[in-house]
């Protein structure tokens, strides 16, 4: 962290898994899903106090238990300030 700035390009793999929902105690058999995402992320730091990143997640594997909405992609971003 002694450089004036750094730039990084990363390949990120993430995922999420959700079991079946219940409505008023009755299980819904069409609500479980498991999704694996992969995508790029760019990180940038300024001095040792400020950093930012932005990335996109594209689904590479989708397993769901019925007809339901699943994301086409996800976008995430963050800014961090250390003090």
The full set of domain ranges for the chain reads 5-81
Query: Is the pLDDT at 20 greater than 90, yes or no?
Result: no
Distance CA 9, CA 69 (A): 30
Given pLDDT bands bounded at 50, 70 and 90, which one contains residue 17? Answer: very high
pLDDT average, residue stretch 23-31:
85
pLDDT at residue 25 in the model: 87
Q: What is the pLDDT of residues 42-69, one digit of tens each?
A: 999 998 889 999 999 999 999 988 888 8
pLDDT at residue 1 in the model: 52
pLDDT at residue 2 in the model: 63
As to burial, measured by CB atoms within 10 angstroms (0-12 exposed, 13-18 middle, 19+ buried), residue 57 is buried
């Amino acid at each position: 962290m002694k450089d004036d700035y750094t730039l990084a390009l990363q390949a990120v793999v993430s995922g999420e898994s959700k079991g079946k929902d219940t409505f008023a105690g009755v299980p819904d058999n069409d609500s479980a899903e498991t999704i694996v995402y992969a995508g790029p992320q760019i990180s940038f730091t300024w001095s040792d106090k400020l950093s930012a990143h932005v990335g996109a997640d594209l689904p590479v594997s989708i397993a769901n238990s019925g007809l339901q909405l699943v994301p086409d992609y996800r976008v995430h971003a963050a800014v961090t300030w250390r003090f």
